[in-house]
């Protein structure tokens, strides 16, 4: 990304990658405070244009950075995440920072205390720059939040394009270099979808991989945490920093078997996405990756069953009376989605739970044949957005434009990643999704590193275009 023609924009000091940044920190070439201030300076210039941040923790971040610099200079090394400036989706509690969950309601008062996952990040030495905008209650795939602000996809300066959701601010902040990596939540694609539309790497962890306390729930059965990073290599570094495991090493291409199930997963693709996916599959095969045709039976059932489970769970958590009492304060599109659950019966829910159990056997059988399932992450590139049009029909149309086969991972308790595979000159990102079995994160990262070596590291948007 070129910033020379962008006025008063500090460089993204971690665009070199987390590993190289760590080396410069420990050699004394950079300080944590210097990196933190550079991000805060970038945020001051770009957040008014792109709106990824719900809250900027300027004083807290500088104080944390100074303390970490002191620790590092005295010989205390907290590992590969020490001194890395990050940002947190605003449905996750962080001590000393507001939490709105994208809402004008009092819903976040249901949360008590900092999320354990945030405390872990701090213990590993991360600097929290602030909180990131989200779709209200994290319920929605477009990124639209009419009341608190919709982040703008940084890949198009000529018109407002959506980042997808619900981790909208998380994806925009990483793509625009406004944090080194971001934390999101993923109930049906809320990390992977925005990552795909914004041209960054996204990883949904397996459900239960990390505690979910201090996080506003959508569905206890489907919710998972996730990370958004500038590359697969950075994601592997974050994984090592979180888990303490050894360095993740790319696999040899010939040792990778990827399953492609065309029905449902490749249905109704925009020509740009279809072309990008076919080119990526061809390139992987040319480098020795084994691409195998598999059949995920009855995948078309998942979206309907998922809707019953996710929306019923959120309505149950919020309470029907509370939703009705706060209806005029909830974003209309979110209320429209949530209101569907008023019509679901107990029998609908129980049938969905049982069908999920049955179908899971089929998916697990497929994953015994291959290392991961491969598909597009989104069926279309990021759509344009007219903020003056807020009708329910328009919001439903946008949601269809932001759809993709991502709910499969949550419904079947898989882990998943998305990585950019094709960004044409002057064009928009296309993401490729990999899904592996529960607790297969390390395996997916090994594969993603290999794919990144074959296809290339993600490009960055030309932010100078916003100032011309």
Tokens of 222: 């489907």
Check whether 5 has a pLDDT greater than 60.
no
- Domains of the chain (ranges; CATH) run 18-300+349-467 (3.90.1300.10)
The single residue listed with the structure tokens 């309907």 is 304
Check whether 12 has a pLDDT greater than 80.
yes
> For residue 425, what pLDDT band results from cuts at 50, 70 and 90?
confident
Distances (CA, A) of 377 to 19, 298, 373: 27, 19, 11
Tell me how far apart the alpha carbons of residues 218 and 355 are, in angstroms, rounded to a whole number: 20
Report the DSSP beta bridge partners of residue 420. Answer: 431
CB neighbour burial string for 110-124, b if at least 16 within 10 angstroms, e if fewer: ebeebbebbbebbeb
CA neighbor of 408 nearest in space, from 440, 360, 365, 367: 360
Give me the mean pLDDT over the 368-395 stretch: 97
> For residue 429, what pLDDT band results from cuts at 50, 70 and 90?
very high
Q: What is the DSSP letter of 215?
A: B
pLDDT digit string (tens) for 337-362?
999 999 999 999 999 999 999 999 99
Query: CA angle at residue 170 from 167 to 176, to 5 degrees?
Result: 140
Per-residue pLDDT, 468: 87
Give me the mean pLDDT over the 152-166 stretch: 97
CB 130 within 8 A of CB 62: no
pLDDT digit string (tens) for 30-42?
999 999 999 999 9
The single residue listed with the structure tokens 């993709």 is 404
| Helix, strand or coil, per DSSP, at residue 367 | helix
Give me the mean pLDDT over the 284-300 stretch: 97
Which residues are identified as catalytic? 89, 166, 190
Q: How far does CA 273 lie from the centroid of its chain?
A: 19
Tokens of 433: 């999704």
Give me the mean pLDDT over the 431-442 stretch: 98
Mean pLDDT of the chain, nearest integer: 96
Per-residue pLDDT, 8: 83
- Say whether the peptide bond before residue 166 is cis (omega within 30 degrees of 0): yes
Per-residue pLDDT, 3: 43
Distances (CA, A) of 309 to 208, 218, 255, 340, 353: 18, 10, 37, 11, 8
CB 411 within 8 A of CB 223: no
Give me the mean pLDDT over the 168-181 stretch: 98
């Amino acid at each position: 990304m070129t910033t020379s023609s962008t006025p008063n924009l500090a460089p993204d000091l971690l665009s070199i990658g987390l590993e190289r940044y760590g080396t410069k920190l420990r050699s004394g070439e950079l300080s944590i405070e210097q990196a933190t201030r550079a991000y805060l300076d970038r945020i001051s210039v770009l957040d008014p244009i792109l709106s990824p941040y719900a809250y900027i923790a300027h004083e807290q971040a500088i104080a944390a950075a100074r303390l970490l610099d002191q620790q590092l200079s005295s010989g205390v090394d907290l590992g590969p995440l020490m001194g890395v400036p990050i940002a947190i989706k605003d449905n996750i509690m962080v001590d000393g920072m507001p939490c709105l969950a994208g809402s004008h309601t009092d819903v976040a008062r249901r949360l008590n205390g900092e999320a354990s996952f945030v405390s872990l990040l701090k213990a590993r030495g991360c600097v929290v720059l602030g909180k990131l905008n989200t779709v209200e209650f994290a319920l929605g795939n477009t990124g639209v939040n009419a009341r608190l602000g919709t982040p703008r996809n940084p890949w198009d300066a000529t018109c407002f394009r959506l980042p997808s959701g619900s981790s909208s601010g998380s994806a925009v902040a990483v793509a625009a270099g406004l944090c080194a990596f971001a934390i999101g939540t993923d109930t049906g694609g809320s990390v992977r979808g925005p990552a795909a539309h914004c041209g960054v790497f996204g990883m949904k962890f397996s459900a239960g991989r990390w505690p979910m306390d201090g996080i506003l729930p959508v569905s206890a059965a489907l919710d998972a945490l996730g990370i958004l990073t500038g590359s697969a290599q950075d994601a592997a570094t974050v994984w090592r920093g979180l888990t303490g495991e050894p360095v993740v090493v790319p696999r040899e291409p010939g040792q990778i078997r990827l399953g492609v199930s065309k029905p449902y997963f490749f249905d109704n693709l925009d020509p740009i996405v279809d072309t990008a996916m076919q080119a990526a599959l061809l390139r992987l095969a040319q480098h020795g990756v084994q691409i195998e045709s598999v059949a995920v039976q009855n995948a078309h059932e998942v979206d309907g069953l998922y809707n019953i489970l996710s929306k019923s769970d959120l309505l149950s958590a919020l309470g029907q009376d509370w939703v009705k009492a706060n209806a005029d304060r909830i974003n209309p599109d979110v209320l429209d989605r949530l209101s569907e659950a008023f019509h679901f019966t107990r029998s609908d829910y129980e049938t969905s739970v049982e069908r999920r159990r049955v179908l899971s056997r089929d998916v697990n059988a497929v994953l015994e044949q291959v290392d991961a399932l491969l598909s597009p992450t989104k069926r279309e590139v990021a759509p344009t957005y007219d903020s003056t049009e807020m009708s329910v029909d328009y919001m439903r149309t946008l949601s269809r434009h932001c759809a993709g086969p991502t709910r499969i991972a949550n419904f079947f308790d898989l882990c998943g990643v998305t990585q950019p595979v094709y960004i044409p000159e002057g064009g928009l990102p296309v993401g490729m999704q990999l899904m592996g079995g529960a607790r297969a994160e390390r395996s997916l990262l090994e594969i993603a590193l290999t794919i990144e070596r074959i296809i290339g590291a993600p490009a960055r948007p030309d932010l100078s275009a916003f100032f011309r």
